[in-house]
Structure 1
Amino acid sequence: MSLNSLTAEIRTNWTPEEIKEIYEKPLLELIYEASNIHRKYHTGSEVQVCTLLSVKTGGCPEDCAYCPQAARYHTDVKVQALLQEETVLAAAQKAKDAGSTRFCMGAAWREVRDNRDFDRVLGMVSKVNDIGLEVCCTLGMLNEYQAQRLKEAGLYAYNHNLDTSGDHYEKIITTRKYEDRLNTIEHVRNAGISVCSGGIIGLGETDEDRIGMLHVLSNLPEHPESVPVNALVPVAGTPLENQPRVSVWEMIRMIATARITMPRTMVRLSAGRTEMSLPEQALCFMAGANSIFSGDKLLTTPNPGVNEDQLMFQLLGLSPRKAFKEAGEVVA
């Protein structure tokens, strides 16, 4: 498969065999091809900076094996009720002042319920939008009506990760089905909200599972505008607390394969960055990553601080992507 054939069109009909062939390429060749495709559709030195805030923490009824916010696991995470609006708005303004252009609010809910808390979140969405940030939420499952209400409030993007392949999913989560996740993504898309959906590697999955997840994402009717690639951060008290950490080379393979199969998508280097050296992160950017979370925490797990990221940007010659810029414009 030549580079020219890969870049000829945006495809939503990838076969598992084609994705496997890409994923298993010699590493330097894979990085080279992904880097070329990245520069065709994106400004190579531009990286989207996002901030993620947990607006409601812990007490979740789900059994996601990786998550310290599940009520059934004994972790150090303390249950916290929905934050007050002024606290959220102050955090959003701080994020904007530090250079973030997207602000994501996460709530440890299994699903959105039509109640006072959801009304409060809608108010937060509207007011963060007024600050001039792209507003993202990750609140669990949504129905069509709830997705439409979020859109009307000014929501820009909604995150709902697939986590892993359909085959491996039931080994990680039993309290909802893979189809439930796909249905939520469809409701988000139908409401005209930008889709953010990716997954986690290091859950005990095989390479075939990783390829399977990328196959689902790259064959959606429209590619997600954002695909986060997370490395598991094992947390004491969760079923996956003793999982070995994934290598940077595995992250690079995932990022590069996502970039080649979904050229216009923002590929986000997400959880796991604290374990990466600066040169390792640089290789991820070379392989097609063009989005990061900045700030001390990703919901409840550690993340490099703003100052560290500013120094990294300066050293690597990277610049923050402006808010509300359409991704995937072909660069001449």
Structure 2
Amino acid sequence: MSSLTNNFVYQKMIDVFSNKKINFQEAMKLINSADLDFLADCANQITVKFGGDKVDVETLVNAKSGRCPEDCSFCSQSTFNTTKIEKYPLLTPERILAQAEEAKNNGANSFCIVCAYRSPPEQDFIQICNTIKLIKESLDIDVNTSLGFMTRDRALMLKKLGVKRYNHNLETAKSMFDKICTTHSYEDRINTAKIVKEAGLELCSGGIIGMGETIEQRVELGISLQSLNPDEVPVNMLIGREGTPLFNKFSLTEEEIIRTIATFRFLMPRAILKIAGGREVHLKKNDKKVLKAGANGIISGGYLTTKGNKHQEDIRMLKEIGLKQN
């Protein structure tokens, strides 16, 4: 049985090399393949084929924390949840610039300004634009943003300012979305993703695994992401924070993470596939396995309301496994 499965996985790898798309049924066979090591190795070969041996290292700044009006059940920043986090309004341009300088000095090649909004008020959006100008004038670092829902005019403005990539995650499968969020729809998220691409920005869109979804729903998320042709796909691993509905509800194994990442690589061979929030908890020091199983990006130095690995640790890890920073 294992040899038959390996033959299938190998054939799908060859199909990907020939620019053939993997469909839902094929992806289900991949994620359930008997030989995990062989699946991971083939996913890694796809990564090397289309992306070489470079890893994208990104640092985030939580530029406006808490008081988000959406009811996402995983999120510590939602006003519907009671997680004890530091809440503050939009940081000044000078303070965000200082964090961008620190990220650059620590070796990050991209810096993402993240804000807990449904959509920024006009005054805040203008301030964010001024912040982007300041960073672009001062530093040689890619600037990305994650600001909630976008209009076409705002997306075009970000593009004009030199923003490289816009993040707007789908979060989970469409079939599960109403169990995770009720204050906006899956179509709202798809719409912003399309606006971002139409404006000429690169699209960063991924999701969270470990929220109680089935394997089929993880593959469904992958297929939805594939249809958007994102440039970057962050895969977050749920840390159920106290004060959220998902606190201590679900578990996630290292094998599940590797299977998901590897299958997503078959689905999106050219995307930066980034292991993001929760990797330090769920993978501990085994990030290396995932970076040899299809992933070629990391978020370093911390997340929005949780700590992460130190930059120096991550850069050292990349060198240990023969990978280079992008």
2:206 touches 2:235 (CA, 8 Å); kept in 1?
yes
2:316 equivalent among 294, 311, 314: 311
Measure, in 1, the Cα distance between the counterparts of 2:120 and 2:152. 11
Q: TM-score, normalised by structure 2?
A: 0.93
Instruction: Give the drift of 1:93.
Output: 0.6
Measure, in 1, the Cα distance between the counterparts of 2:37 and 2:317. 23
Measure, in 1, the Cα distance between the counterparts of 2:164 and 2:260. 26
Match of 1:270 in 2: 276
1:143 touches 1:187 (CA, 8 Å); kept in 2?
yes
How large is the RMSD of aligned CA atoms in angstroms? 1.3
Match of 1:138 in 2: 146
Match of 1:30 in 2: 39
Q: How do residues 141-180 of structure 1 correspond to structure 2 at under 5 angstroms? A: 141-180=149-188
Instruction: Give the drift of 1:10.
Output: 5.4
* 2:152 maps to amino acid: E
Measure, in 2, the Cα distance between the counterparts of 1:190 and 1:161. 17
Q: How do residues 1-332 of structure 1 correspond to structure 2 at under 5 angstroms? A: 1=8, 2=11, 3-9=13-19, 11=21, 14-26=22-34, 27-44=36-53, 46-113=54-121, 115-130=122-137, 131-220=139-228, 223-275=229-281, 276-278=283-285, 280-295=286-301, 297-321=302-326
Secondary structure at the aligned position of 1:227 is classed as: strand
* 1:94 maps to amino acid: E
Unaligned runs of 5+ in 1: 322-332
Measure, in 1, the Cα distance between the counterparts of 2:117 and 2:289. 35
Measure, in 2, the Cα distance between the counterparts of 1:245 and 1:274. 15
Give CA-to-partner distance per residue, 1:263-305, whole Å, 9 cap, x none: 1100001011212233x2111011111110111x201112111
Q: TM-score, normalised by structure 1?
A: 0.91
Secondary structure at the aligned position of 1:298 is classed as: coil
* 2:130 maps to amino acid: G
Measure, in 2, the Cα distance between the counterparts of 1:273 and 1:43. 23
1:10 touches 1:262 (CA, 8 Å); kept in 2?
no
Match of 2:4 in 1: none
Measure, in 2, the Cα distance between the counterparts of 1:166 and 1:74. 26
Secondary structure at the aligned position of 2:291 is classed as: helix
Match of 1:327 in 2: none
* 1:302 maps to amino acid: K
Instruction: Give the drift of 1:24.
Output: 1.4
1:233 touches 1:245 (CA, 8 Å); kept in 2?
no
2:40 touches 2:262 (CA, 8 Å); kept in 1?
yes
Aligned residues: 313
Secondary structure at the aligned position of 1:214 is classed as: helix
Q: Alpha carbons of 1:123 and 1:282: their partners in 2 closer, same or farther (altered >3 Å)?
A: same
After TM superposition, which residue ranges in structure 1, 4 or more long, deviate above 3 angstroms?
none
Measure, in 1, the Cα distance between the counterparts of 2:196 and 2:20. 21
Instruction: Give the drift of 1:79.
Output: 1.7
* 2:19 maps to amino acid: E
Instruction: Give the drift of 1:172.
Output: 0.3
Measure, in 2, the Cα distance between the counterparts of 1:176 and 1:72. 14
Instruction: Give the drift of 1:128.
Output: 2.0
Measure, in 1, the Cα distance between the counterparts of 2:290 and 2:86. 33
Measure, in 1, the Cα distance between the counterparts of 2:16 and 2:30. 10
1:112 touches 1:142 (CA, 8 Å); kept in 2?
no
Measure, in 2, the Cα distance between the counterparts of 1:254 and 1:239. 24
Measure, in 2, the Cα distance between the counterparts of 1:72 and 1:228. 25
